[in-house]
Structure 1
Amino acid sequence: MSAINEIDVNALNDTIDAVRANPKLGQVTFAIDGSWQGGCRLDAQTAALTQGGERDEKRSAQYTMSSDEPSALLGTDTAVSPGEYLLQALAGCYTVTIATLAAARGIELDSVRLELEGDVDLRGFLGIAPSIRPGLDQVRVHVHAEAPGATREQLEELIALVERRSPIRDTLANPISVVTTLA
Protein backbone atom coordinates (compact mmCIF):
# COMPACT_ATOMS: atom_id res chain seq x y z
CA MET A 1 0.00 0.00 0.00
CA SER A 2 1.35 3.38 -1.00
CA ALA A 3 0.06 6.16 1.27
CA ILE A 4 0.70 9.89 1.11
CA ASN A 5 -0.97 12.18 3.66
CA GLU A 6 -2.65 9.04 5.07
CA ILE A 7 -4.44 8.66 1.72
CA ASP A 8 -4.08 5.23 0.11
CA VAL A 9 -2.96 6.31 -3.36
CA ASN A 10 -3.57 2.84 -4.81
CA ALA A 11 -7.16 2.87 -3.48
CA LEU A 12 -7.61 6.40 -4.85
CA ASN A 13 -6.46 5.28 -8.29
CA ASP A 14 -8.66 2.16 -8.08
CA THR A 15 -11.65 4.37 -7.22
CA ILE A 16 -10.91 6.69 -10.15
CA ASP A 17 -10.65 3.68 -12.48
CA ALA A 18 -13.88 2.12 -11.12
CA VAL A 19 -15.91 5.34 -11.54
CA ARG A 20 -14.41 5.92 -14.98
CA ALA A 21 -15.45 2.38 -15.99
CA ASN A 22 -18.89 2.61 -14.31
CA PRO A 23 -20.02 6.25 -13.91
CA LYS A 24 -23.03 5.09 -11.88
CA LEU A 25 -20.62 4.41 -8.98
CA GLY A 26 -19.92 8.15 -8.89
CA GLN A 27 -23.54 8.91 -7.99
CA VAL A 28 -23.75 9.35 -4.20
CA THR A 29 -26.62 10.58 -2.02
CA PHE A 30 -25.95 11.72 1.53
CA ALA A 31 -28.89 11.97 3.94
CA ILE A 32 -29.74 13.00 7.49
CA ASP A 33 -32.90 12.83 9.60
CA GLY A 34 -33.51 15.70 12.00
CA SER A 35 -36.06 16.57 14.68
CA TRP A 36 -36.80 19.97 16.21
CA GLN A 37 -36.04 20.14 19.92
CA GLY A 38 -37.80 23.45 20.61
CA GLY A 39 -36.51 26.98 20.19
CA CYS A 40 -33.71 27.03 17.63
CA ARG A 41 -32.47 23.50 18.42
CA LEU A 42 -32.33 20.49 16.10
CA ASP A 43 -31.02 16.99 16.72
CA ALA A 44 -30.12 15.00 13.61
CA GLN A 45 -28.53 11.71 12.75
CA THR A 46 -26.99 10.29 9.64
CA ALA A 47 -29.28 8.27 7.38
CA ALA A 48 -28.43 5.65 4.78
CA LEU A 49 -25.78 6.54 2.19
CA THR A 50 -26.70 5.64 -1.37
CA GLN A 51 -23.98 4.99 -3.95
CA GLY A 52 -24.60 3.77 -7.46
CA GLY A 53 -28.24 3.15 -6.56
CA GLU A 54 -27.35 0.86 -3.64
CA ARG A 55 -28.32 1.87 -0.08
CA ASP A 56 -25.71 1.39 2.64
CA GLU A 57 -27.62 1.26 5.93
CA LYS A 58 -24.40 1.05 8.02
CA ARG A 59 -24.38 4.85 8.35
CA SER A 60 -28.00 5.04 9.55
CA ALA A 61 -27.99 6.63 13.01
CA GLN A 62 -24.23 6.09 13.27
CA TYR A 63 -23.48 9.77 13.89
CA THR A 64 -25.50 12.43 15.63
CA MET A 65 -25.40 16.19 15.27
CA SER A 66 -27.09 18.99 17.17
CA SER A 67 -27.50 22.60 16.19
CA ASP A 68 -28.64 25.75 17.97
CA GLU A 69 -28.06 29.46 17.60
CA PRO A 70 -25.96 31.70 19.84
CA SER A 71 -27.94 33.60 22.48
CA ALA A 72 -27.46 36.82 20.51
CA LEU A 73 -29.32 35.16 17.61
CA LEU A 74 -32.35 33.92 19.60
CA GLY A 75 -30.91 30.52 20.52
CA THR A 76 -29.75 29.01 23.78
CA ASP A 77 -26.15 28.42 22.60
CA THR A 78 -26.23 24.69 23.38
CA ALA A 79 -24.66 23.52 20.12
CA VAL A 80 -22.92 24.58 16.92
CA SER A 81 -24.99 26.97 14.78
CA PRO A 82 -26.14 25.98 11.28
CA GLY A 83 -23.87 28.72 9.87
CA GLU A 84 -20.89 27.23 11.69
CA TYR A 85 -21.85 23.77 10.39
CA LEU A 86 -21.83 25.23 6.89
CA LEU A 87 -18.30 26.57 7.42
CA GLN A 88 -17.31 23.19 8.94
CA ALA A 89 -18.72 21.40 5.88
CA LEU A 90 -16.59 23.57 3.62
CA ALA A 91 -13.52 23.18 5.83
CA GLY A 92 -14.00 19.41 5.96
CA CYS A 93 -14.41 19.17 2.20
CA TYR A 94 -11.38 21.39 1.62
CA THR A 95 -9.35 19.12 3.92
CA VAL A 96 -10.42 15.98 2.04
CA THR A 97 -9.76 17.65 -1.29
CA ILE A 98 -6.38 19.11 -0.29
CA ALA A 99 -5.10 15.84 1.22
CA THR A 100 -6.35 13.72 -1.68
CA LEU A 101 -5.18 15.99 -4.50
CA ALA A 102 -1.83 16.53 -2.80
CA ALA A 103 -1.40 12.75 -2.46
CA ALA A 104 -2.31 12.25 -6.13
CA ARG A 105 0.37 14.80 -7.04
CA GLY A 106 2.97 13.26 -4.69
CA ILE A 107 2.94 16.27 -2.33
CA GLU A 108 3.52 15.25 1.28
CA LEU A 109 1.82 17.57 3.73
CA ASP A 110 3.14 18.21 7.22
CA SER A 111 0.11 20.25 8.26
CA VAL A 112 -2.98 22.01 7.00
CA ARG A 113 -4.93 24.56 9.02
CA LEU A 114 -8.00 26.37 7.76
CA GLU A 115 -9.56 29.59 9.03
CA LEU A 116 -13.05 30.34 7.71
CA GLU A 117 -15.40 33.28 8.14
CA GLY A 118 -18.84 33.91 6.69
CA ASP A 119 -20.88 37.12 6.66
CA VAL A 120 -24.66 37.34 6.92
CA ASP A 121 -26.92 40.38 7.13
CA LEU A 122 -29.79 39.51 9.49
CA ARG A 123 -32.07 42.08 7.85
CA GLY A 124 -32.77 39.54 5.09
CA PHE A 125 -33.65 36.71 7.52
CA LEU A 126 -35.77 39.01 9.71
CA GLY A 127 -37.69 40.37 6.70
CA ILE A 128 -36.62 43.94 7.44
CA ALA A 129 -35.05 44.45 4.02
CA PRO A 130 -36.46 42.06 1.39
CA SER A 131 -33.78 43.12 -1.11
CA ILE A 132 -31.06 41.65 1.12
CA ARG A 133 -30.33 37.93 0.81
CA PRO A 134 -31.00 35.96 4.01
CA GLY A 135 -27.95 33.79 3.36
CA LEU A 136 -24.23 34.27 3.63
CA ASP A 137 -22.90 37.09 1.50
CA GLN A 138 -19.28 35.97 1.44
CA VAL A 139 -17.16 33.14 2.81
CA ARG A 140 -13.44 33.63 3.26
CA VAL A 141 -11.07 30.65 3.55
CA HIS A 142 -7.48 31.10 4.65
CA VAL A 143 -5.40 27.97 4.05
CA HIS A 144 -2.17 27.44 5.96
CA ALA A 145 -0.33 24.48 4.42
CA GLU A 146 3.11 23.14 5.29
CA ALA A 147 4.70 20.88 2.69
CA PRO A 148 8.50 21.11 2.88
CA GLY A 149 8.99 19.19 -0.38
CA ALA A 150 6.68 21.49 -2.38
CA THR A 151 7.29 24.93 -3.76
CA ARG A 152 4.97 27.87 -3.09
CA GLU A 153 3.91 27.66 -6.75
CA GLN A 154 2.96 23.97 -6.36
CA LEU A 155 0.89 24.79 -3.28
CA GLU A 156 -0.82 27.69 -5.07
CA GLU A 157 -1.64 25.34 -7.98
CA LEU A 158 -2.98 22.81 -5.46
CA ILE A 159 -5.28 25.39 -3.83
CA ALA A 160 -6.50 26.59 -7.25
CA LEU A 161 -7.33 22.96 -8.10
CA VAL A 162 -9.08 22.57 -4.73
CA GLU A 163 -11.26 25.57 -5.60
CA ARG A 164 -12.29 23.84 -8.83
CA ARG A 165 -12.76 20.33 -7.39
CA SER A 166 -14.23 20.75 -3.87
CA PRO A 167 -17.86 19.53 -4.01
CA ILE A 168 -18.97 21.69 -1.08
CA ARG A 169 -17.30 24.82 -2.48
CA ASP A 170 -18.96 24.15 -5.82
CA THR A 171 -22.31 23.76 -4.04
CA LEU A 172 -21.87 27.10 -2.28
CA ALA A 173 -20.44 29.00 -5.25
CA ASN A 174 -22.98 27.91 -7.88
CA PRO A 175 -26.76 27.88 -7.87
CA ILE A 176 -28.27 24.48 -7.05
CA SER A 177 -31.81 23.21 -6.84
CA VAL A 178 -33.15 22.85 -3.29
CA VAL A 179 -36.54 21.14 -3.31
CA THR A 180 -38.62 21.53 -0.14
CA THR A 181 -41.85 19.57 0.34
CA LEU A 182 -44.29 19.21 3.20
CA ALA A 183 -44.59 15.49 3.94
Structure 2
Amino acid sequence: MSETKPLTAAELRAIQAPIKEKYKADPASAIVTLSSSGTLSSTSIACKLSTGAAVKEAKERVAGLHPAAGGPDAAISGELCSGDLLLEALVACAGVTLKAVATALQIPLLDATVKADGDLDFRGTLGIDRNAPVGFKEIRLQFECDFEGDVTEERTSKLLALTERYCVVLQTISQKPNISSTMKRK
Protein backbone atom coordinates (compact mmCIF):
# COMPACT_ATOMS: atom_id res chain seq x y z
CA MET A 1 0.00 0.00 0.00
CA SER A 2 1.59 3.30 -1.02
CA GLU A 3 1.36 6.42 1.08
CA THR A 4 -0.48 9.36 -0.40
CA LYS A 5 -0.91 12.87 0.88
CA PRO A 6 -3.63 13.26 3.50
CA LEU A 7 -7.03 14.50 2.44
CA THR A 8 -7.89 18.06 3.28
CA ALA A 9 -11.16 18.90 5.00
CA ALA A 10 -12.45 20.33 1.72
CA GLU A 11 -11.54 17.16 -0.18
CA LEU A 12 -13.26 14.95 2.41
CA ARG A 13 -16.39 17.14 2.30
CA ALA A 14 -16.36 16.95 -1.52
CA ILE A 15 -16.15 13.13 -1.41
CA GLN A 16 -18.88 12.82 1.23
CA ALA A 17 -21.30 15.47 -0.13
CA PRO A 18 -22.90 13.29 -2.85
CA ILE A 19 -23.04 10.34 -0.46
CA LYS A 20 -24.83 12.43 2.17
CA GLU A 21 -27.28 13.78 -0.42
CA LYS A 22 -28.04 10.24 -1.55
CA TYR A 23 -28.71 9.14 2.05
CA LYS A 24 -30.94 12.16 2.69
CA ALA A 25 -32.96 11.45 -0.46
CA ASP A 26 -33.04 7.67 0.09
CA PRO A 27 -32.49 6.78 3.78
CA ALA A 28 -32.68 3.03 3.04
CA SER A 29 -29.56 3.31 0.87
CA ALA A 30 -27.58 4.33 3.98
CA ILE A 31 -28.11 0.92 5.59
CA VAL A 32 -25.22 -1.39 4.79
CA THR A 33 -24.77 -4.98 5.95
CA LEU A 34 -21.22 -5.99 6.78
CA SER A 35 -20.26 -9.67 7.06
CA SER A 36 -17.47 -11.82 8.38
CA SER A 37 -17.07 -15.57 8.47
CA GLY A 38 -14.66 -18.16 9.72
CA THR A 39 -14.14 -21.89 9.79
CA LEU A 40 -13.01 -23.93 12.76
CA SER A 41 -9.82 -25.90 12.66
CA SER A 42 -10.27 -29.64 12.80
CA THR A 43 -6.93 -30.08 14.57
CA SER A 44 -6.74 -27.23 17.09
CA ILE A 45 -8.86 -24.75 18.99
CA ALA A 46 -8.66 -22.06 16.33
CA CYS A 47 -10.85 -20.18 13.84
CA LYS A 48 -9.63 -19.23 10.35
CA LEU A 49 -11.16 -15.98 9.19
CA SER A 50 -12.23 -15.49 5.58
CA THR A 51 -11.15 -12.13 4.18
CA GLY A 52 -10.96 -10.56 0.76
CA ALA A 53 -7.94 -11.06 -1.51
CA ALA A 54 -6.72 -7.47 -1.12
CA VAL A 55 -6.67 -7.80 2.65
CA LYS A 56 -4.85 -11.15 2.49
CA GLU A 57 -2.15 -9.58 0.32
CA ALA A 58 -1.75 -6.47 2.47
CA LYS A 59 1.46 -6.22 4.46
CA GLU A 60 -0.45 -4.87 7.46
CA ARG A 61 -4.05 -4.57 8.64
CA VAL A 62 -5.17 -1.02 7.95
CA ALA A 63 -8.45 0.44 9.16
CA GLY A 64 -10.02 3.15 7.05
CA LEU A 65 -13.32 4.75 6.13
CA HIS A 66 -15.93 2.40 4.74
CA PRO A 67 -16.84 3.20 1.12
CA ALA A 68 -20.35 4.08 2.34
CA ALA A 69 -18.71 6.92 4.32
CA GLY A 70 -16.42 8.03 1.49
CA GLY A 71 -13.55 5.57 1.91
CA PRO A 72 -11.79 3.72 -0.89
CA ASP A 73 -12.87 0.33 -2.20
CA ALA A 74 -11.39 -2.22 0.21
CA ALA A 75 -10.68 -4.62 -2.66
CA ILE A 76 -8.27 -2.01 -4.05
CA SER A 77 -6.93 -0.36 -0.89
CA GLY A 78 -6.90 -3.37 1.42
CA GLU A 79 -8.40 -1.17 4.10
CA LEU A 80 -11.14 -2.49 6.36
CA CYS A 81 -13.56 -0.34 8.26
CA SER A 82 -13.70 -0.77 12.01
CA GLY A 83 -17.10 -2.46 11.63
CA ASP A 84 -15.49 -5.18 9.51
CA LEU A 85 -12.82 -5.62 12.17
CA LEU A 86 -15.39 -5.80 14.97
CA LEU A 87 -17.28 -8.56 13.15
CA GLU A 88 -14.01 -10.40 12.49
CA ALA A 89 -13.17 -10.22 16.20
CA LEU A 90 -16.63 -11.55 17.06
CA VAL A 91 -16.38 -14.43 14.58
CA ALA A 92 -12.87 -15.33 15.76
CA CYS A 93 -13.78 -15.28 19.44
CA ALA A 94 -17.09 -17.09 18.98
CA GLY A 95 -15.42 -19.75 16.83
CA VAL A 96 -12.59 -20.38 19.28
CA THR A 97 -15.06 -20.43 22.18
CA LEU A 98 -17.37 -22.86 20.35
CA LYS A 99 -14.46 -25.22 19.69
CA ALA A 100 -13.20 -24.97 23.28
CA VAL A 101 -16.64 -25.61 24.77
CA ALA A 102 -17.28 -28.54 22.40
CA THR A 103 -13.92 -30.01 23.39
CA ALA A 104 -14.60 -29.54 27.12
CA LEU A 105 -18.07 -31.10 26.83
CA GLN A 106 -16.74 -33.93 24.65
CA ILE A 107 -19.14 -33.01 21.85
CA PRO A 108 -17.64 -34.46 18.65
CA LEU A 109 -17.58 -31.31 16.49
CA LEU A 110 -16.23 -32.27 13.07
CA ASP A 111 -16.62 -29.02 11.20
CA ALA A 112 -18.16 -25.60 11.82
CA THR A 113 -18.57 -22.25 10.16
CA VAL A 114 -19.24 -19.06 12.10
CA LYS A 115 -20.79 -16.04 10.41
CA ALA A 116 -21.63 -12.58 11.69
CA ASP A 117 -23.69 -10.05 9.77
CA GLY A 118 -24.30 -6.54 11.05
CA ASP A 119 -26.40 -3.65 9.80
CA LEU A 120 -24.99 -0.11 9.92
CA ASP A 121 -26.98 3.04 9.17
CA PHE A 122 -24.40 5.45 7.78
CA ARG A 123 -26.72 8.41 8.33
CA GLY A 124 -25.71 8.21 12.00
CA THR A 125 -22.00 7.81 11.28
CA LEU A 126 -22.01 10.77 8.88
CA GLY A 127 -24.08 13.00 11.18
CA ILE A 128 -26.98 13.25 8.73
CA ASP A 129 -29.72 12.13 11.11
CA ARG A 130 -29.31 12.48 14.89
CA ASN A 131 -31.93 9.74 15.39
CA ALA A 132 -29.99 7.22 13.32
CA PRO A 133 -27.66 5.12 15.49
CA VAL A 134 -23.91 5.39 15.25
CA GLY A 135 -22.80 1.79 15.19
CA PHE A 136 -24.52 -1.47 14.45
CA LYS A 137 -28.31 -1.54 14.66
CA GLU A 138 -28.30 -5.32 14.69
CA ILE A 139 -25.75 -8.14 14.63
CA ARG A 140 -26.65 -11.70 13.70
CA LEU A 141 -24.29 -14.49 14.76
CA GLN A 142 -24.77 -17.88 13.11
CA PHE A 143 -23.13 -21.25 13.67
CA GLU A 144 -23.33 -24.11 11.17
CA CYS A 145 -21.98 -27.27 12.77
CA ASP A 146 -21.37 -30.84 11.69
CA PHE A 147 -21.07 -33.41 14.46
CA GLU A 148 -19.86 -36.99 14.50
CA GLY A 149 -22.59 -39.42 15.48
CA ASP A 150 -25.87 -38.53 17.08
CA VAL A 151 -25.63 -35.31 19.10
CA THR A 152 -28.93 -34.41 20.76
CA GLU A 153 -30.71 -31.07 20.48
CA GLU A 154 -30.21 -30.67 24.24
CA ARG A 155 -26.42 -30.94 23.84
CA THR A 156 -26.30 -28.52 20.91
CA SER A 157 -28.46 -26.05 22.85
CA LYS A 158 -26.05 -26.29 25.78
CA LEU A 159 -23.11 -25.83 23.40
CA LEU A 160 -24.68 -22.66 22.01
CA ALA A 161 -25.61 -21.28 25.45
CA LEU A 162 -22.11 -21.83 26.85
CA THR A 163 -20.47 -20.43 23.72
CA GLU A 164 -22.55 -17.26 24.09
CA ARG A 165 -21.79 -17.09 27.81
CA TYR A 166 -18.00 -17.45 27.50
CA CYS A 167 -17.31 -15.56 24.26
CA VAL A 168 -15.38 -12.51 25.45
CA VAL A 169 -16.17 -10.33 22.42
CA LEU A 170 -19.87 -11.23 22.40
CA GLN A 171 -20.19 -10.52 26.11
CA THR A 172 -18.23 -7.26 25.78
CA ILE A 173 -20.46 -5.83 23.06
CA SER A 174 -23.70 -7.12 24.58
CA GLN A 175 -22.94 -5.99 28.15
CA LYS A 176 -21.75 -2.48 27.21
CA PRO A 177 -18.79 -2.09 29.55
CA ASN A 178 -17.81 1.20 31.14
CA ILE A 179 -15.37 2.87 28.79
CA SER A 180 -13.33 5.98 29.36
CA SER A 181 -11.47 7.99 26.76
CA THR A 182 -8.53 10.32 27.16
CA MET A 183 -6.52 12.37 24.74
CA LYS A 184 -2.93 13.44 25.26
CA ARG A 185 -0.72 15.61 23.13
CA LYS A 186 2.48 13.98 21.87
TM-score tier (shorter): 0.5 to 0.7
In the alignment, residue 69 of structure 1 is paired with which amino acid?
A: L
CA distance in 1, matches of 2:81, 2:161: 29
- Residue 159 of structure 1 aligns with an amino acid whose one-letter code is L
Structure 2 residue 44 is the aligned partner of structure 1 residue 6 = yes
User: Kindly, what percent of the aligned residue pairs are identical?
Assistant: 28
Give the unaligned 5+ runs of structure 1. 8-62
- Is 1:87 aligned to 2:125, yes or no? no
Query: Superposition pairs for residues 9-88 of structure 1, below 5 Å?
Result: 64-76=60-72, 77=74, 78=77, 79-88=79-88
In structure 2, what is the Cα distance between the partners aligned to 1:153 and 1:176? 31
**Shift, 1:153, TM fit:** 2.6
Q: Which moved more, 1:110-119 or 1:65-74?
A: 65-74
96-105 or 67-76, which deviates more: 67-76
> 1:159 and 1:103 mapped to 2: Cα distance?
13
Correspondence 1:170 to 2:171: yes
CA deviation vs aligned residue, 1:59-80 (integer Å, no higher than 9, x gap): xxxx942122343331112222
Report the TM-score when normalising by structure 1: 0.62
Give the SS at the match of 1:178. Answer: coil
**Aligned-residue CA RMSD in angstroms?**
2.0
8 Å Cα contact 2:69-2:122 kept in structure 1: no
Determine the C-alpha separation between the residues in 1 that align with 2:107 and 2:126. Answer: 46
Could you say which residue in structure 2 is the equivalent of 1:44? none
Q: Which amino acid aligns with 1:73?
A: A
CA contact (8 A) 2:68 2:122 kept: no
Residue 109 of structure 2 aligns to a residue whose secondary structure is coil
Corresponding residue SS for 1:110: strand
What is the alpha-carbon distance in structure 2 between the residues aligned to residue 179 and residue 153 of structure 1? Answer: 41
- Deviations 1:2-31, CA, capped at 9 Å, x for gaps: xx9635xxxxxxxxxxxxxxxxxxxxxxxx
Note closer, same or farther for the CA distance 1:5–1:160 as it changes in structure 2 (3 Å cut): farther
Rounded to whole Å, the distance in 2 between the matches of 1:98 and 1:138 is 21
User: Segments of 4+ in structure 1 off by > 4 A?
Assistant: none
Indicate conservation of the 8 Å contact 1:68/1:80, yes or no.
yes
SS in 2 for 1:130: coil
Contact 1:5 1:109 in 2 (8 A): no
Q: Which residue of 2 aligns with 1:118?
A: 118
Name the CA distance, whole Å, in 1 between partners of 2:99 and 2:88.
16
1:92 maps to amino acid: A
How many residue pairs get matched? 125
